[in-house]
Structure 1
Amino acid sequence: MRLRRTRSTAATAPRPAAALGGALVVAAVLGCSAPASEVRDEGGPDEAATSASGGSTPGGEVTTAPSLDPAYAVDPPGRFKSLPRTADIVVQTQETIDEDTLAAIEALDGVAAIERLSLLQVSIENRVLDVAAVDPATYRRYAPRELPQNQAIWDRVAAGELAVGKAVAKRLPLDDDDFVALTSEVPPIHLGVKAPQITNAVDAVVNEKWGEALGATPGNALLISTGLTAPDAVVKPLAKLLPKDTSIERLDAVARFGLDPEAYQQATVVGTFAEAVGSFSYRVLQGGRIDPDPTWISTHISTQDVPILGSVTCNNAIFPQLRAALQDIIDADLADEINPDEYAGCYYPRFIAGSTTLSNHSFGTALDLNVPGNLRGTVGEMDRVVVSIFKKWGFAWGGDWSYTDPMHFEMARIVRPG
């Protein structure tokens, strides 16, 4: 299914017909506070991008792109001629928002502009990143400070490259050529630009072609600008127009006060184990904890017996391959390498410490073993044959990460024992 063009309530410039040549590319956008001057990448200036912007790149530098695959490119956005907009509310639903609902939202008092996009979540090294699939020609209006006018950035997003904030870039497992795999179903994508974006509602931005490849639900999200109207005045009438399970997030409240404990947040995980998680709704509790939707818990989480560890509480989808891995460890006479008394759990619904980022433990698709000898940032003491058996059965190991977590194993793909 192709993503439909983003709906916009402001006029945009005509778009050139020819798409930029591009490789496996994505735009990742972090709500960080890095100054606009830090929009850059490693290497020299990008001649194509500079030319597209008339030699001017307000907000910082961009650099030479690798050879890009045109299959992941959309038309370049042309010059920016619209008014910048504030991003005041972000909405995410489970399904595509229909045209009648969009028209009703546009007509609400206090709604100055809306931008349709797709939101999805991907898991990278136990961090769940919020990815927005957008039309760069219109989404750019909501970028902070000088970034809407930075032609080079949006040309590169259209061509298929990844743009991320500095904080997100530091966490990405990049190869030597700055490519990163968002899921195993699509090729790696290139990090071409580091630039701040809208608050912490979005970690990464991709163009619509990449959203389609990643499996995004087309048009399941909106950015809403309320102009001079306080976002709170729009939330209640907005909620009446949308399904009950819709996530409505006030970006001003997120930035100043943290997540709204009364509102359900929405995460729709894509990738190899999407069927294990599906659509995940939760409320925020104190102390970094979350309260998943009880219906989701009843259909996805259970307590079962497995070899070596005994009774564990995990996602239902993980049990077949977890049992198979642990049985292979027993058959290899390595059961003593896993200490059940040092098992730290599988399902615990909470954010990663000190953040509002979900971990795979929130979904019950990860487990921590032999904790005392395998702390974060260390090589760890985990037996490497045990590690190889877990990998055989579809688990990724935190000991391979740039900032190691050798106690941690997470389901990277679904493997069904024969």
Structure 2
Amino acid sequence: MAHRYQVRTGDMLAEIARDSYGTAPLTRKLADYNGITNPNLLRVGEYLELPARLVLAPPAAVPAASGALQPPHSLEGIIATFGDIRRHIRDDGHLNPAWETGHLATAPIPFAIPLSWDRTRRVQGIYCHKLLAPLVSDLFRAIQQEGLQEQITTFGGCFNCRPKRQSNKLSTHSWGIAIDLNPETNRQGSPGDMSGELVALFKRYGFAWGGTWSGRNKDPMHFQFCTGY
């Protein structure tokens, strides 16, 4: 069960990792999970997410169902697979457009989905990381073939360079590797009503589901192509 820890004066991340997991070597993974670039610099008063040990150190990666692309684990794995977007965020907080041009593409999907913020508009392509685009197209074809199309009522977005809600670390949406569906009835912190069949299909394609997270982090609208972050 994940929980939150508020940093106090004198705290060291290695000590927090040892107290929480019984071993200091998970310090780097805990730093990555929280988007901390320097484990030796903690801000007093900030909150750290302390996930279950298996989240930081899983026994094996989850295989993707389509193609050779595998879901990366931890911030280090995301950067190795999809690039270090942090280097392209300007001092004003905006992303250099060159990164978007070089790393993103539109994955065509076989049916149109209304936008959650404007149901008069529909999308028939998902703007995501170019490495993920073929898998996303395959996934949505499988959704249609398995008769799950009607389980998707609205599209809440994919690429969006921003911090994670209730956190200072970058959201996986920043890399274009997360998809939000049916946000109206699957708000963060709620149990939601996401279709179990739809969740199972996303997992077959290597996506982790935010509905398994706990407390305020629970996010049943959210699917991300990575673990440990």
TM-score in same-fold range (> 0.5)? yes
CA distance in 2, matches of 1:376, 1:63: 29
Please give the secondary structure, in 2, of the residue aligned with 1:292.
coil
> Structure 1: where are the runs of 5+ without partners?
1-29, 42-61, 74-117, 134-138, 146-164, 188-214, 216-267, 414-418
The letter for the 2-side match of 1:277 is G
- Correspondent of 2:130 among 316, 321, 329: 316
Does the Cα contact within 8 Å between 1:350 and 1:359 map onto a contact in 2? Answer: yes
Measured after TM superposition, the shift of residue 378 of structure 1 is 1.3
Does the Cα contact within 8 Å between 2:85 and 2:175 map onto a contact in 1? no
2:102 corresponds to 1:299: yes
- Counterpart secondary structure, 2:56: coil
1:38-81 deviations in Å (ceiling 9; x for gaps) = 9987xxxxxxxxxxxxxxxxxxxx86985x69xx59xxxxxxxx
Q: 1:400 aligns with which of 181, 201, 212?
A: 212
**Distance 1:379-1:38 versus aligned 2 partners, 3 A rule:** same
Report the CA distance shift for 1:384/1:365 in structure 2 as closer, same or farther (over 3 A): same
Superposition deviation, residue 311 in structure 1? 2.1
Q: CA deviation at 1:396?
A: 0.6
Cα 1:38/1:311, change in 2 over 3 Å: closer
- The unaligned stretches of length 5 or more in structure 2 are 62-72, 114-123
1:357 shift after superposition: 2.3
- C-alpha displacement of 1:382: 0.8
Shift of 1:358: 1.0
Partners of 2:159 and 2:174 within 8 A in 1: yes
- Structure 1 residue 373 and structure 2 residue 164: aligned? no
| Offset, 1:352 | 3.0
Distance in structure 2 (CA, Å) of the matches to 1:65 and 1:119: 12
Match of 2:68 in 1: none
**Equivalent residues of 2:186, 2:193 under 8 A apart:** yes
| Equivalent residue letter for 2:77 | G
Contact 1:183 1:272 in 2 (8 A): no
CA distance in 2, matches of 1:387, 1:344: 16
Match of 2:66 in 1: none
User: Are 1:129 and 2:35 matched, yes or no?
Assistant: yes
State the match for 1:283 in structure 2: 90
> 1:307 and 1:64, CA in 2 relative to 1: closer, same or farther beyond 3 A?
closer
Distance 1:276 1:184, change over 3 A: farther
Q: Given residue 181 of structure 1, which amino acid in structure 2 is its aligned partner?
A: V
Partners of 1:269 and 1:277 within 8 A in 2: no
Q: Report the AA paired with residue 160 of structure 2.
A: Y
Q: State yes or no: 1:270 paired with 2:79.
A: no
As a proportion of its length, which structure holds more helix? 2
Q: TM-score, normalised by structure 1?
A: 0.39
Change (3 A) 1:356 1:314: same
Alignment of 1:375-394 (within 5 A): 375-394=187-206
Distance in 2 (alpha carbons) for counterparts of 1:144 and 1:390:
36
Is 1:181 the counterpart of 2:55? The answer is: yes
SS of match in other structure, 2:90? strand
Q: What is the Cα deviation at residue 35 of structure 1?
A: 4.0
Matched, 1:364 2:170: no
Amino acid at match of 1:173: P
Change (3 A) 1:279 1:184: farther
- For the residue of structure 2 that corresponds to 1:307, the secondary structure is strand
- The alpha carbon displacement at 1:282 in A equals 0.2
Instruction: Find out whether 1:34 has 2:3 as its counterpart.
Output: no
The residue correspondences of 1:7-406 to structure 2 (distance < 5 A) are 34-36=8-10, 66=22, 122=32, 124=33, 129-132=35-38, 167-168=47-48, 171-174=49-52, 179-182=53-56, 269-271=75-77, 274-280=80-86, 281-285=88-92, 290-308=93-111, 309=113, 310-339=124-153, 342-353=154-165, 355-403=167-215, 404-406=218-220
**1:298 CA displacement:** 1.3
Aligned residues with identical type, % of pairs: 26
Tell me if structure 2 keeps the 8 A contact 1:185–1:272: no
